Structure 1
Amino acid sequence: MQSSLTSLLDHPKIAVSDEEYNRIQNNLIYFQSRFNDVTFLNTDGEQRTRKFNHLPLARTCCKKVAGLVYNEQAEITIENEVINKFVNEILLNDRFNKNFERYLESCLALGGMAMRPYFDGKTIKIAFIQAPVFLPLQSNTQDISSAAIVTKSVKSEGRINTYYTLIEFHEWVNDELTITNELYKSNNADIIGSRVLLSELYDTLEESVVIKGLSRPLFTYLKTPGMNNKDINSPLGLSIFDNAKTTIDFINRTYDEFMWEIKMGQRRVAVPDGLTNMTFQQGKDGRLQSKRRFEVEQNVFVQIGGGIDDNKIIDLTTPIRAEDYIKSINKGLAIFEMQVGVSSGMFSFDGKTMKTATEVVSENSDTYQLRNSIVSQVEHSIKELIVSICELGKAHGIYRGKIPKLGEISINLDDGVFTDRNAELDYWTKALASGIVSKQYAISKVLGVTDEVAGEMLTEINEESQPDLGDEDRLIYGAKE
Structure 2
Amino acid sequence: MGLVETVKRFFKRSTYVMTNQTLSQITDHPKVAVSSQEYQRIKDNQRYFSGSYPQIEYKDSNGRLTKRDFNHLPIGRTAAKKIASLVFNEQAEIKINDDEANTFINKTLKTDRFNKNFERYLESCLALGGLAMRPYVDNDKVRVAFIQAPVFLPLQSNTQDISNAVIVTKTTKVEGNKNKYYSLLEFHEWSDDKYTVTNELYKSDFSDKIGQRVALSELYEDLEETAELQGLSRPLFTYLKPPGMNNKDINSPLGLSIFDNAKTTIDFINTTYDEFMWEVKMGQRRVAVPTQMIKTEYNQDGEKVTVKREFETGHNVYEQFDSGLDEAIKITDLTTPIRADDYIKAINEGLALFEMQIGVSAGMFTFDGKSMKTATEIVSENSDTYQMRNSIVSLVEQSLKELIISMLELGKAYELYKGNIPDMDTISINLDDGVFTDRNAELDYWLKMVTAGFAPKVKAIEKTMNVTEDKAKKILQQIATETMSATNQVRSDEDIETYGE
Flag whether TM exceeds 0.5 (same fold). yes
Match of 1:224 in 2: 242
**1:38 counterpart = 2:60:** no
8 Å CA contact retained: 1:136, 1:146: yes
Separation (CA, whole Å) in 2 of partners of 1:442 and 1:138: 42
Match of 1:65 in 2: 83
Q: Which amino acid aligns with 1:85?
A: T
Match of 1:282 in 2: none
Separation (CA, whole Å) in 2 of partners of 1:92 and 1:408: 20
Q: Give me the identity figure in percent.
A: 63
Separation (CA, whole Å) in 2 of partners of 1:464 and 1:200: 67
Separation (CA, whole Å) in 1 of partners of 2:432 and 2:382: 20
Q: Deviations over 1:194-253 (max 9, x none)?
A: 222222222222111111111111111101111100000000000010000000000000
Match of 1:397 in 2: 415
Separation (CA, whole Å) in 2 of partners of 1:317 and 1:193: 56
Q: Deviations over 1:76-115 (max 9, x none)?
A: 1111222211222211111111111110000001110101
Q: Secondary structure at the match of 1:126?
A: strand
Q: Deviations over 1:169-194 (max 9, x none)?
A: 01135531010111111222122122
Separation (CA, whole Å) in 2 of partners of 1:2 and 1:63: 44
Separation (CA, whole Å) in 1 of partners of 2:369 and 2:270: 19
Q: Deviations over 1:124-165 (max 9, x none)?
A: 111110000001115666631110000001112453212111
Match of 1:294 in 2: none
1:336 is aligned, of 327, 335, 354, to 354
**1:440 counterpart = 2:458:** yes
Q: Deviations over 1:234-274 (max 9, x none)?
A: 00000010000000000000111111111222778999xxx
Q: Secondary structure at the match of 2:145?
A: strand
Q: TM-score normalised to the size of structure 2?
A: 0.83
Range that drifts further, 133-142 or 5-14: 133-142
Match of 2:276 in 1: 258
8 Å CA contact retained: 1:344, 1:364: no
Match of 2:305 in 1: none
Match of 2:114 in 1: 96
Q: Deviations over 1:374-418 (max 9, x none)?
A: 111111111111111122222222222222222111111111111
**1:365 counterpart = 2:383:** yes
- Gaps (5+ residues) in structure 2? 1-18, 290-314
Q: Secondary structure at the match of 1:34?
A: coil
Q: Which amino acid aligns with 2:240?
A: L
Match of 1:431 in 2: 449
CA RMSD of aligned residues (A): 3.1
1:186-201 → structure 2 map (5 Å cutoff): 186-201=204-219
Name the CA shift for 1:136/1:81 in 2 (closer, same or farther; >3 Å). same
Shift of 1:317: 4.0
Match of 2:154 in 1: 136
Separation (CA, whole Å) in 2 of partners of 1:236 and 1:412: 26
Q: Secondary structure at the match of 2:486?
A: coil
**1:13 counterpart = 2:9:** no
1:245 is aligned, of 242, 258, 263, to 263
Q: Secondary structure at the match of 1:88?
A: helix
1:17-166 → structure 2 map (5 Å cutoff): 17-138=35-156, 143-157=161-175, 159-166=177-184
Separation (CA, whole Å) in 2 of partners of 1:173 and 1:368: 38
Q: Secondary structure at the match of 2:201?
A: strand
Name the CA shift for 1:391/1:105 in 2 (closer, same or farther; >3 Å). same
8 Å CA contact retained: 1:169, 1:180: yes
Match of 1:276 in 2: none
Q: TM-score normalised to the size of structure 1?
A: 0.87
Match of 1:387 in 2: 405
Separation (CA, whole Å) in 2 of partners of 1:216 and 1:475: 63
Separation (CA, whole Å) in 1 of partners of 2:493 and 2:99: 38
8 Å CA contact retained: 2:381, 2:437: no
Separation (CA, whole Å) in 2 of partners of 1:169 and 1:140: 17
Separation (CA, whole Å) in 1 of partners of 2:371 and 2:192: 62
Range that drifts further, 120-129 or 132-141: 132-141
Q: Deviations over 1:343-363 (max 9, x none)?
A: 111111111122233211349
Q: How many residues align?
A: 454
Q: Which amino acid aligns with 1:125?
A: R
